[in-house]
Amino acid sequence: MRVPFFDLKSQYALIQNEVDEAHRAIFSAAQFVGGESVHTFENQFAKKLGVSHCISVGNGTDALFVALKAAGIGPGDEVITPAWSWISSSETISLTGAQPVFADADDFFTIDPIDVERRITPRTKAIVVVHLYGQPANMDALVAMCQKRNLTLIEDCAQAHFSEYKNQMAGTFGQLAAFSFYPTKNLGAYGDGGAVVTNNSSLAEKTRRFANHGGLSKDDHQIEGINSRLDTLQAAYLTVKLNHIDAWTRKRIANAELYTELLKGVGDIVTPEVRRSSKHTFHLYVIQTKKRDALKAYLQGEGVETLVHYPKALPFEPAYHSLSFSEKDFPRAAQFQREVLSLPIYPELTREQIQFVCDRIQQFYGR
């Protein structure tokens, strides 16, 4: 048996008729940028999240950049962001001219509110919270902190489509939230895509303007902006997939539960903790073990693909060497980069495949 880390071919086989039909309709109409399909997706996505505005953009990184610009972040500002994340959540802060300030992770791989508090200075303007792997961050503490200190809260939901914290959707806690529709994300296009959502109409207008050369229509340039758009084709594909996302999310959660059950007490494995009263949508299923590299190599030999999210915490990346951090500045992130391993978790995974992966893991520890 071979268990690939992603399997978008199986997913396409399940929805091929709908996707091909959407594709044909766009080619018949021959409108490839903007148009009705983009509005339809924006409206349906906003409605499903329960927010009043969705502004689609070219990718998730642009979504973060555009959201930060709309929030007025720029030179002289500091923005607190997780040490343990994908680089989009910090590089976009630098792109605005502001300074990213890293904070360490908590036990759930998300930003630790206690460490955030320690890193606040008079220059701090915002916090970028990442709901990593599909698990919402500690929003009670973070929302309270932002309110008390008058900080803008921006959520990176690239890995957390329709995740919930105490029955509230991820992406509805902050002033703005950014989503990615990269093909392997829980809701993925057949190419790049992203969106910003907000309940604030003034921020929505600023976001739309900045993403569209400063205007709400052609030849309208109130400010300078960029060109970041969701292709019409991608919007149509995403609308098709939006009808399936709830079933896919349920399958991801069921797969995670099966892994956790089968891996209980196996070797030194730590299975992922789910935060109480939250809905973890398992973009990634991440275990921890001191034998990470050996286990990864063993599984590779047995036909099981795994990945490491991430091999290096952001403060230790060459891109941030000038900040001269050492492992003791971010002890949790430093531990994670040595011990985390992501197992395949997509909805199309079969019970037999999960059983196979867990059998091989057991075999590794029993050698």
Question: Where along the sequence are the contacts to ligand PLP (CB under 6 A)?
Answer: 59-61, 85-86, 88-89, 130, 156, 158-159, 180, 182, 192, 194
Give the shortest CB-67-to-ligand PLP separation in angstroms. 11
Q: How far is CA 80 from each of CA 25, 113, 155, 207, 354, rounded to the nearest angstrom? A: 44, 11, 12, 21, 38
Nearer to ligand PLP, 88 or 152 (CB): 88
Give the shortest CB-128-to-ligand PLP separation in angstroms. 9
* Residue closest to ligand PLP, measured at CB: 60
Nearer to ligand PLP, 35 or 191 (CB): 191
- Which residue is it, tokens 């309270």? 144
Give the shortest CB-310-to-ligand PLP separation in angstroms. 10
Give the shortest CB-329-to-ligand PLP separation in angstroms. 21
3-state SS, 70-124, equals HCCCCCCCEEEEECCCCCHHHHHHHHCCCEEEEECECCCCCECHHHHHHCCCCCE
Nearer to ligand PLP, 86 or 173 (CB): 86
Asked if residues 173 and 130 have their Cβ atoms less than 8 Å apart, the reply is no
- Which residue is it, tokens 């060109």? 227
Nearer to ligand PLP, 298 or 346 (CB): 346
Q: 99 forms bridges with which residues in the sheet? A: 78
Nearer to ligand PLP, 125 or 161 (CB): 161
Give the shortest CB-147-to-ligand PLP separation in angstroms. 24
Asked if residues 133 and 109 have their Cβ atoms less than 8 Å apart, the reply is yes
Widest pairwise Cα distance in the chain: 68
Give the shortest CB-179-to-ligand PLP separation in angstroms. 8
Give the shortest CB-183-to-ligand PLP separation in angstroms. 9
Q: Which amino acid is at 311?
A: P
Q: Which amino acid is at 309?
A: H
Nearer to ligand PLP, 170 or 299 (CB): 170
Nearer to ligand PLP, 192 or 339 (CB): 192
φ, ψ dihedrals at 175, nearest 5°: -70, -35
- Which residue is it, tokens 């091929």? 16
Nearer to ligand PLP, 133 or 364 (CB): 133
Give the shortest CB-252-to-ligand PLP separation in angstroms. 15
Beta-strand ranges (E) seen in 172-318 are: 176-180, 194-198, 278-279, 285-288
Q: Cβ contacts of residue 256 below 8 Å, gap of 6+?
A: 272, 280, 282, 285, 345
